[in-house]
Structure 1
Amino acid sequence: MGLFGYVSRRLVYGLLLLVGVLVLNFFLIHAAPGDPAQAIAGEMAGANPKVLAEIRTSYGLDKPILTQLGIYLANVAKGDLGISYYFNQPVITLIAARLGPTILLVFSSQVVALAVGVAMGVLAARRPDGLLSAIVAVVSTIGYAAPVFWSGIMLIILFASVWPIFPVDGMTGARFEGGYLAHIRDILYHLVLPASTLAIIFLAQYSRLSRASMIEVLGADYVRTARAKGLSERAVMFKHGLRNALLPIVTVVGIQFGNLISGALLVESVFNWPGMGRLAFESVLRRDYPTLLGILFFAALMVVVANILTDISYRFVDPRIRIGRH
């Protein structure tokens, strides 16, 4: 089975997983206490039993739960995620407006965590018993143990109160004026603290993992042979060492993507970042079931796609792996 067949098979598995996620989330959300009709009616003084009954009929909430599930799955298959109870807009429209900021936050923090974490791990692996290795171990342990919302609050205190360098609210300035490039700079300026907050915990994991993996690889026979041939330390570390140490790191990147998404939801709430996390928070408070289900669906979709891309990347990181045999 070639790459195309493997990807096709993984897509089928991913589709089945998404259906399972939809069904599970549907039952969990509808099992939560509270009446969505009350949330739709809001604080209207005229929200009497007759009005509530009309709302339930209008939104199909009076139908049996299995019937509601069947209707919902059929609509999702057609690309219809329903209408938001609170915003009274198509859920797909709401998510499309918030998806870009979330993807920007997630991928920028992932790039920072990978680049800095792997660099720290490689430097620490050169002298496992040295001072730098000990510093990396301590820093990574603190970063891994600190809750993401606590790290965000500490960065806000440090860089908004003690040293007011970066903005801590929103994605752009409230009174921003300028051209396209200035707009991009403003977004990146606002991105620094949220992306750093989310990157800290994953940077800690990647640095520890890359350090351990590099120490193991540098003790292998082929590395000793490379050094015996007179290759430079740079060539030994990066061409023979890092390339072979990347496989477990790539594996963890794929596994941790779900945690990255959930961490992004918390970071967006701390920094008022206009992504899906902020929308999810508002939907929970307002019992906006269709919007919340749509957000969970897109989060699961991002995780499935990330895991498929991770599996495919094995073939390029380590040519000895043949995807078709798995």
Structure 2
Amino acid sequence: SVASIASTATPEYVSGVIFTVIFASWLGWLNGSAASASQGLTFYNFTLPVMTLAIYGIGYIARMTRASMVEVMTQQYIRTARLKGLSFGSVVVKHALRNALIAPFTVIMLQFPWLLTGVVIVEVMFRYQGFGYTLVEAAGNNDIDLLLGCSLVSVFIVLITQLISDVGYAFLNPRIRVQ
């Protein structure tokens, strides 16, 4: 759809500015920065950064899931299940969704390492002092040891998500399971 393509095409720094203008400036519903984030973890403090990080991934995953479901719903076993009298919802949940989630699952797991780059932009934009802020400060101060530590954490996150992706793929697709 147009919304998923638009969300995928919009970079984080643009969507962050748009969300800040709409929800913080015009409507006044949310914080535009981390001024009160030190007071605690609240919905009010973290909604804009989470929306900014998630908007790209949601659009991409929605497009992948839709394309995969369209392909799976045309298969013979789906038609057979419908002819046996199963309801449409039952066919979708029990038969189609598991097979359709194989491709989007790997895309979802590939989004986690990508979020690390988005965290840098979002934390600088909203002035949160987290992993991305630490990475930017370490680069600005030429702190090689801290940069190496951040790189090590990033590599660890990538390896863990790839391991989870491989195990999950084997769970979703029984044809590739190790005997």
Structure 2 counterpart SS, 1:253: helix
Is 1:309 aligned to residue 164 of structure 2? yes
Identical counterparts, % of pairs: 36
Larger radius of gyration: 1
User: Structure 2 CA distance, aligned partners of 1:321 and 1:267?
Assistant: 38
User: Structure 1 CA distance, aligned partners of 2:16 and 2:31?
Assistant: 12
Which residues of 2 match residues 92-131 of structure 1 at below 5 A? none
Query: What's the offset of the Cα at 1:296?
Result: 1.5
The corresponding residue for 2:48 is: 193
Unaligned runs of 5+ in 2: none
Is 1:156 aligned to residue 48 of structure 2? no
Structure 2 counterpart SS, 1:273: coil
1:240 equivalent among 90, 95, 101: 95
User: Structure 1 CA distance, aligned partners of 2:127 and 2:84?
Assistant: 56
Is 1:144 aligned to residue 8 of structure 2? yes
Aligned residue pair count: 179
Letter in 2 for 1:166: L
* CA gap 1:160/1:233 in 2 versus in 1, 3 angstroms: same
The corresponding residue for 1:253 is: 108
Query: What's the offset of the Cα at 1:262?
Result: 0.8
Cα pair 1:171 1:191 within 8 Å, conserved? no
Is 1:224 aligned to residue 79 of structure 2? yes
Letter in 1 for 2:99: N
Q: TM-score, normalised by structure 1?
A: 0.52
The corresponding residue for 2:142 is: 287
Bigger relative contact order, structure 1 or 2 (CA pairs below 8 A, ≥6 apart)? 1
Letter in 2 for 1:222: Y
Q: What's the RMSD between the two structures over aligned residues?
A: 1.7
CA deviation map 1:193-238 (0-9, x unaligned): 1111111101111011001000000000000001101111111111
The corresponding residue for 2:32 is: 168
User: Structure 1 CA distance, aligned partners of 2:139 and 2:20?
Assistant: 25
